[in-house]
Structures are given as structure tokens and as C-alpha cells.
Amino acid sequence: MLINVILSGGAGTRLWPLSTKLNPKQFIPLIEGRSLFQECTRRNKGLVDATMIVLHEDHLPVAREQALSVGLADPIFIVESAPRNTAPAIAFAALEAAPADILFVTPADHVIDVNLHYMQSLSQAVQLAEEGRLVTFGIEPLHADTGYGYIEHINTRVISFHEKPSRAIAEAYLQKGGFLWNSGMFCFRADAYLDALAEFQPTLLRSCQYVWEQKKKNIPVNASFYEMIPSVSIDNAVLEQSSNISVIPSRFNWSDIGSFDSLQQYLTAGDNWNHKNVFLTDDCMQDNFVFNQDGKPIALVGVRDIMVIQTSEGMLICKKGESQRVKEVYNLFTQSN
């Protein structure tokens, strides 16, 4: 059985104040009135046999409602009381699945054009997963992006993983070739992933199993139980350590909407941003981006290359190209609250 595991536990703080802990980016209607979570669910449901959704318990109502609205009446919800990063989230899905089930793991907050390339990549990945490989999806880079990690490869063989690079290094990757964007999407048999955890992260696996067994016995598992689980990404926990890794070099259009700079491209492309009650001097029309969710009047005079995001939560004014730095002000904001 092929199962789409949708990772919906993220808080998306790099998109503050649009995305907040209470209302993270994956559940906000952005693309023609649909959320990224709805887009993900819709995109994959026809391609798989079942859908599992891993998420924080606070978001269960909105996820249930949004899944239903795109025709997914009976997904399997895997509820966490505290977010523990991707390695534990996927472990819960693998424990829930049958050992031979293939898990197609997709973060809820990516933008992807479904086309033939997407189908082909998934098909290749499933084939390798059936052979027991841990498969990751790498995207052929379109530009020297500094917001993504990179995978160095030869065909489906992974040579090494690289952290988010500086601009100079990103440009060198692009020039040299043989580097892919690390998409954060994966495909593997449930037992292959659990075996890898047993080998590289035995403590993490044990604590996930413990929590899982408690829940199966209907013993309430609160946040402090979850806090015992190491908070580690699947990349650090398994992929960078295992030799049983394959990568699918993929050509479908993909973005992780990790910052306002990347979000902006999708919103303006479809003219899908809210310019209600926005007032601009003539010279401000072209080079600025204003998203006015709150609806209170916003006026711009003589400014260039800035992004303005107004929501009920707050107001962000960010130089274009610098939205990776939103976490700096988000940290100041959370410290003061």
C-alpha cells in the first residue's frame, strides 16, 4: 500500500506575522482560496492508497475541515502533543503503517506543479523504495538559492548533503552541476525507515515506540511525554548517516515557501494577494509587495523593493531579498511576549 504521509506539524515562523503558532502557514488560504495543506492533500490523494496526516493536536479541527473540503473524508490523523521535528513525526507514521507499506512523505507547506515529471519522480521513488532504499527527492536547481540545502549526486547515488550555502557557494554549485535542492520529500518502506532508526537513533526510536504504545492502550500522552523524544530532523537523524540512500533527480516545479521572497512569487503570479485598502504613490506601484490581510489602510510613499505584510497579528516591513531574516525579529517578538 502506498501512503502519503503529510507532515503538518510546522509552525512556519519564517512567515510571521502571516503564519503564527495558532495559525501556521500550511493552513492559511493563500493559493486561490486554498491552503498549502489543501493543495498538498489534493495533489497526492489520487496517486496513493491512503493519507496519514501528522500534526499538532491544536490543528486537528482545521485539518479535518480542510481535508474534507478537498474530498478527503477519512485520512488517518497522527496527533502530537508537542512538535518534535521530522524524524519522530515520520516514526509515528511508520509505526502506524504495516511494515511493507510504502510511505511517500511530503511536508504540507510546499508548492508543487503536478505534471508528468512529478508522476515520473514518484514512480521511480516507489520502485527504489520497494527494493528497500531510503529515497529522497532532489530538485534540479533553477537558480543559486541560498534558502535550500543541497544534495551532491551522480544519478540516483547521493555523494553528500550540504547545508544552506552562501551566495558564492550556491553559484559554484549551479555552475559545477551535479547538485540538487534538498526538497524534504521522501519515500521508503515503513520497516526500512524503522530499521534505519534502530541503527542510528535507537533512543529516539524507543521513546517514539513508548509514546506510541501508550496511545494504543488509550493512555493519555501529554506534552511532557513528547518532550522526552529527541527533536531531530530526518536529515540529521538518518539520511546523512545511512549508506542506504537514493536520490531522485526531479524536474517538477517546487518551492518550500520558506520566506516571503518565495511566497511573493506565487502570490503575485496569480494576482492573488490582497491589495484592498492599499494606497501607493505612482513610484511605489512596481517594486513593492503589499499583503493586507488585516484590511486596515496601508499607504506607501516613495519606498522601493520592500514587502509589507499586515495581519491581525502584526506588521512586517522587509527589504526584498532579506526575508530569510524574519526569524531575527520573530525571536525578538517572542522574547518580549
Contacts with a copy of itself by CB under 8 A lie at 16-17, 277, 279-282, 296-304, 306, 308, 310, 313-319, 321-323, 325-326, 328-330, 332-333, 336
Report, in Å, the least distance between residue 332 CB and a copy of itself.
Answer: 4
Q: Please identify, using beta-carbon distances, which residue of 199 and 328 lies nearer to a copy of itself.
A: 328
Q: Is the CB of 139 or the CB of 316 nearer to a copy of itself?
A: 316
**Least distance between a copy of itself and beta carbon 267 (Å):** 18
Is residue 307 within 8 A of residue 326, CB to CB? The reply is: no
Residue reference for cell 512556519: 12
Residue 169 to residue 157: CA distance in whole angstroms: 22
Position of cell 499586515? 310
Nearest-angstrom CA–CA distance, 61 and 64: 5
- For a copy of itself, the closer of residues 231 and 277 by Cβ is 277
Count of residues making up the chain? 337
The dihedral through the CA atoms of 19, 25, 27, 28 has a sign that is: positive
Residue number, 142 or 299, with CB nearest to a copy of itself: 299
Give 60 or 306: the residue with its C-beta nearer to a copy of itself.
306
For the bound state, the minimum distance from the C-beta of residue 67 to a copy of itself, rounded and expressed in Å, comes to: 32
At 114 the three-state DSSP class reads: coil
SS3 state at 185:
strand
d(CA 240, CA 59): 31
* CB 265, min distance to a copy of itself, A: 18
Q: Which helix (H) or strand (E) holds 330?
A: helix 326-336
Comparing CB distances to a copy of itself, the nearer of 216 and 325 is 325
**Beta strand pairing status for 34-35 and 29-31?**
antiparallel
* Cβ nearer to a copy of itself, comparing 13 with 26: 13
Nearest distance in Å: CB 331, a copy of itself? 9
Of 123 and 334, CB closest to a copy of itself: 334
- Is 246 within 8 Å of 156 (Cβ atoms)? yes
Of the candidates 215, 214, 191, the one whose C-alpha atom is nearest the C-alpha of residue 98 is: 191
Question: Which residues on neighbouring strands pair with residue 67, listed in sequence order?
Answer: none
In this complex, which beta carbon is closest to a copy of itself, that of residue 119 or of residue 299?
A: 299
Handedness of CA 202, 205, 210, 211 (dihedral sign): positive
292 - beta bridge partners? 310
Residue 43: CB minimum distance to a copy of itself, A: 31
CB of 282 to a copy of itself, least distance (A): 8
Angstrom distance (rounded) from CA 306 to CA 291: 11
| Helix or strand holding residue 149 (H, E) | none
Long-range own/partner contacts, residues 325-329 (CB < 8 A, 24 or more apart): 326/13, 326/14, 326/15, 326/16, 326/259, 326/260, 327/13, 327/14, 329/16
Q: Taking the complex as a whole, how short is the minimal distance between the CB of residue 317 and a copy of itself, in angstroms?
A: 5
Shortest reach from residue 110's CB to a copy of itself, in Å: 23
